[in-house]
Amino acid sequence: MVISYFHGVDHEDLPLLLSTLSVHCVFSIETHDIKLIGHEAITGMFHRLWSNHKWVRHDQFSFVENVESSTIAVRFRVTNQLHDGQLVYKSNCNFFTGEGNKFKEVRVYMAGENTLDHANQT
């Protein structure tokens, strides 16, 4: 499910991305004190991410899963290409909490500048 989530992000496939998140998913960017709740707020954030970059890619994943608590921690590299062609690299960690076959919570720990714009913060 984590790979499907990142595939949706990297390919700007909003239906795929949202299919991994519960309707009332809590999405927080812990390093920037931002909390979004629900598909509408999360959708706005990803539309801003995609419009602010030529493309984004996530790779070099390392996973730690706790089946008992339905949580997955993942460390990964992010590459963002800006519209001027500049590449920006980050090392991030996300923590996903599952409920059934969807994530009810996503917590992001992001190196550097917040590329997930926080307009429409809830």
Q: Does domain 2-109 have CATH number 3.10.450.50?
A: yes
pLDDT, tens digit (0-9, with 9 covering 90-100), for 65-91:
998 899 999 999 999 999 999 999 999
> Is residue 108 within 8 Å of residue 94, measured between CB atoms?
yes
Please name the residues in contact with 110: beta carbons below 8 A apart, sequence gap of 6 or more: 29, 31, 32, 90, 92, 116
pTM for this one? 0.89
Give the pLDDT confidence of 85-120 residue by residue, as tens digits: 999 999 999 999 999 999 999 999 988 776 666 554
Domain ranges in the chain are 2-109
> Does residue 55 or residue 114 have the better pLDDT?
55
Q: In this structure, which amino acid lies at residue 66? A: N
